[in-house]
Amino acid sequence: MYKIAVIPGDGTGPEVIREGLKVLEAAGNKFNFKYETKIFDFGGERYLKTGKTLEDKDIEELRKYSAIFLGAIGHPEVKPGILETGVLLKLRFSLDQYINLRPVKLYNSLYCPLKDKKPEDIDFVVVRENSEGLYKGMGEFKDKGTKDETAIQISYNTRKGVERCIRYAFEYTRKRDKRKKLTLCGKTNVLTYAWDLWERTFYEVAKEYPDITTDYAHVDATTMWFVKNPEWFDVIVTDNMFGDIITDLGAMIQGGMGIAAGGNINPQGVSMFEPIGGSAPKYTGQNVINPLAAICAAGMMLEALGEVKAAKAIEDAVIKLVNTKLKSLAAGKMGCSTSEIGDLIVKSL
Ligand code: IPM
Ligand code: MN
């Protein structure tokens, strides 16, 4: 019996989570696994009412679950930064979800903004470090508010943190068993402390994986190749900030935020799965948002829980749907409503 903590969150989060849960239920029936869910109201509304984001006792409660299924966090009436650090990043950091796993897979060339790229050309996975780097929040102001002000933001990288991420990426590349190629995406030519550590660790760990081909690309060049030659990539490992940036571009070449899912993974603890797009407040309550990213996130969650057949069946149903019924993957243009998409996936399952 799995215990799933559900955080629908803000904006269109609850609408896409509803479809994700529909699909989960159908998958449970078909593949015979049992689970219970509990809904948590963390997010913007709760913050506006109570002034609370996420407390230590909430984290302790969440530790008891098999996984977390998250919609979206972000509210137009809450100052940027509060919910991001107080809810989303707090979850990632306190549950030590040190990997952010973001598959970039094109299911139908119609949805790709790149000319002449087919599904077989865009099929790679970004392993983003999810607990350190610039996201650590280290830094300071000097002479704040004066004309001599300095703002320092530190990229914090530990050997242990870097190594566990790189190791995960090598293991993942081996297990994925596609092209067995792992690319380190960094900036060794300028960020000479952080990327020196990353590069040394990468090539040291690589010695233990002679079956994996290694490669290195600077982050700026990586963005160029995402557009020009995405077929070069199999698995990419990178730090938190670069991973954040390149996966938005990745989402666009796979068809947009409507389809992009990710997992915040703690291989030894509680992982959290989410559509990588935001709360899209302008579409809230209209039944027009694309729930496929949330449905794919539910699939990733099942895969992580060991329900591999169910995960595969969900992906197959998504592939079928985007190659038959859908006009577009963008909100309001899909030719189907949010709830119809959930229903179609359920039917196909
Ligand atoms: C993401 C988001 C978050 C991040 C924000 C909302 C804090 O952009 O999941 O990629 O920067 O990690
Ligand atoms: Mn992001």
Of the pLDDT bands very low, low, confident and very high (cuts 50, 70, 90), residue 17 is very high
Proximal ligand: closest to the CA of 245: 2
- Ligand 1, residue 130: give the atom nearest the CA: 12
- So what's the pLDDT on residue 279? 95
- Tell me the DSSP string of 165-215: HHHHHHHHHHHH-SS-EEEEEE-TTT-TTHHHHHHHHHHHHHTT-TTSEEE
> What is the Cα–Cα distance from 188 to 221, expressed in whole angstroms?
12
Record the pTM. Answer: 0.98
Q: 71 CA distance to ligand 1 centroid (A)?
A: 13
Per residue in 133-173, pLDDT (tens digit) is 999 999 999 999 999 999 999 999 999 999 999 999 999 99
Percent residues over pLDDT 90 in the chain: 99
Cβ neighbours of 48 (radius 10 Å): 11
- Ligand 1, residue 247: give the atom nearest the CA: 10
Residue 231: CB within 6 Å of ligand 1?
no
- Ligand 1, residue 73: give the atom nearest the CA: 6
Per residue in 288-308, pLDDT (tens digit) is 999 999 999 999 999 999 999
CATH class (in words) of the domain with range 1-96+281-349: alpha beta
- So what's the pLDDT on residue 334? 96
Q: Which of 54, 83, 89, 102 to mutate to test the pocket of ligand 1 (most atoms within 8 A of CB)?
A: 89
Identical fold between 1-96+281-349 and 123-253: yes
Closest residue CA from atom 9 of ligand 1? 276
Proximal ligand: closest to the CA of 10: 1
Q: 251 CA distance to ligand 1 centroid (A)?
A: 13
Q: 315 CA distance to ligand 2 centroid (A)?
A: 23
- Ligand 1, residue 240: give the atom nearest the CA: 12
Q: 89 CA distance to ligand 1 centroid (A)?
A: 8
Per residue in 244-270, pLDDT (tens digit) is 999 999 999 999 999 999 999 999 999
Give the architecture-level CATH label for domain 123-253. 3-Layer(aba) Sandwich (3.40)
How many alpha carbons fall within 13 Å on the CB side of residue 327?
8
Helix (H) / strand (E) element for 15: namely helix 13-31
271 has which bridge partners? 67
Of the pLDDT bands very low, low, confident and very high (cuts 50, 70, 90), residue 238 is very high
Residue 88: CB within 6 Å of ligand 1?
yes
Proximal ligand: closest to the CA of 87: 1
**What does the domain layout of the chain look like in residue ranges?**
1-96+281-349, 123-253
Kindly report the backbone phi and psi dihedral angles of residue 284, in degrees, each rounded to the nearest multiple of 5, phi listed first.
-55, 135
Tokens standing for residue 83: 């919910």
Closest residue CA from atom 6 of ligand 1? 84
Per residue in 191-231, pLDDT (tens digit) is 999 999 999 999 999 999 999 999 999 999 999 999 999 99
